[in-house]
Amino acid sequence: MQLSCKNLSLLFVAGALGGLVNSLCVWGLGALGLPLALGVKLAPPLTPPWLYQRLVWGGLWAFLFLLPLRRWPYEVRGLLYSLGPSLATFFLVLPLQAHKGLLGLQLGTLTPIFVLFYNAVWGVVAGLWLRLTGKAA
C-alpha cells in the first residue's frame, strides 16, 4: 500500500468502524448481562467519551494493516492484528489505568476471553471494510 493521505485515511476509517462495532458489541452484550452471567464485570455504559476514545484508538490500531502480510486475507490479518490491542489491554490498560490487575482478572476469570473476542470483532470488521472497499492495504 502506498503511503498516501487517501490510503492512510482509509485505514483509519476501517479501524474506527471496527472500533464502533467493537464498542457496540461490548456495550450490547454488557447490557444483555452476558458477561455478568459468566462472572465478568464488564458492562460499560454507552457514553460519548467512552465511545470516542475507542473510535480513535481503533483507527490508530488499524495502521497495523501496513505490515507486510499481504498474502493473507484482510479478515485473517485483522484477527492477527487484534492481538495488539488485546495485549495492550491486558498489560497496560486494565492493570495500570483501570487498576483491575494483570489481564483484568479482578473483573472475572473469563475477562481475557471477552477481551480477545471483542478485539477480534474489531480486527474482522476493519479487515472486511478494507476488502469491501477494494483497496490493497
- For the chain, give the percent of residues with pLDDT over 90: 89
User: Rounded to whole angstroms, how far apart are CA atoms 102 and 23?
Assistant: 22
- Read off the C-alpha cell for 15: 479501524
Tell me the pLDDT tens digit for each residue of 106-116.
999 999 999 99
Is the model's pLDDT at 135 over the cut of 80?
A: no
Q: How far apart are CA 71 and CA 41, in angstroms?
A: 39
Summarised one tens digit per residue, pLDDT across range 18-48 is 999 999 999 999 999 999 999 999 999 999 9
Cα dist from 101 to 26, 57, 86, whole Å:
20, 22, 14
